[in-house]
Amino acid sequence: MISTLWAPRCRALASSLLLSPGMRPRQPITHLPSKAPSLTPAAGGASIITRNATKKAGGSSNNSRDSAGRRLGIKVWPGTEAKPGGIIVRQRGKKFLPGDNVGIGNDHTLWAKVGGVVRMEKVFLGPKKKRRNLVHVVTDTGGADIVSARA
């Protein structure tokens, strides 16, 4: 109701000062506050409003990559038949050592030099008598001890 009463007077004043209806005349600053307003709500002053995040910050991670497994381990178990040139054990390091008719590759893979039955034995080797696994391929079995890999 007040705006409808004051609107014609404001328009008249603006036109008398040769200003467009949206402009106001500049007033010199005559009064400055002597004391800064208090920022505590208890003192009747303005309060400081802080915004909280509405989304969780998405940080980056360094360890999010993973590689596929290397498929290490025993490929031909003791008592089963190994083909000539077939891989018997894939390993890192020398957990298993080559015995009779077994070769070792650059990555310590044990492979059969000839076809036959795989045998493994534990022996004490080295200056500290460390217990080691030896892998052999035996060719002269009568066939009674051979266990098929499919059975």
Going residue by residue through the chain (151 aa), what tens digit of pLDDT does each one get?
555 666 666 666 655 655 555 666 666 666 666 555 555 556 566 678 887 777 777 777 787 788 899 999 999 999 999 999 999 999 999 999 999 999 999 999 999 999 999 999 999 988 888 888 999 999 975 544 444 444 3
**Residue found under tokens 């040769």:** 18
Residue 5 is assigned to a structural domain of this protein? no
pTM: 0.52
Q: What is the CATH number of the domain that holds 83?
A: 2.40.50.100
Domain that residue 105 falls in:
73-138
- Within a domain: residue 14? no
Do 137 and 118 meet the contact criterion of CB atoms below 8 Å apart? yes
Task: Please classify residue 74 by burial: count the beta carbons closer than 10 Å to its beta carbon, then call 0-12 exposed, 13-18 middle and 19+ buried.
Answer: middle
Residue ranges of E strands in the chain: 73-74, 81-82, 87-90, 96-98, 102-104, 110-112, 116-125, 130-138
Tell me if 85 is assigned to some domain: yes
HSE of 137, CA atoms in CB hemisphere, 13 A: 22
Residue 34: what pLDDT?
A: 59
Q: Residue 60's pLDDT is what?
A: 75
Q: Is 86 part of a structural domain of the chain?
A: yes
- Residue 59 in domain: no
Residue 47 lies in a domain: no
Q: For residues 102 and 111, is the Cβ–Cβ distance under 8 A?
A: yes
Domain count within the chain: 1
Distance of alpha carbon 110 from alpha carbon 91, whole angstroms: 8
Q: Is residue 114 part of a domain?
A: yes
Q: What is the pLDDT of residue 9?
A: 65
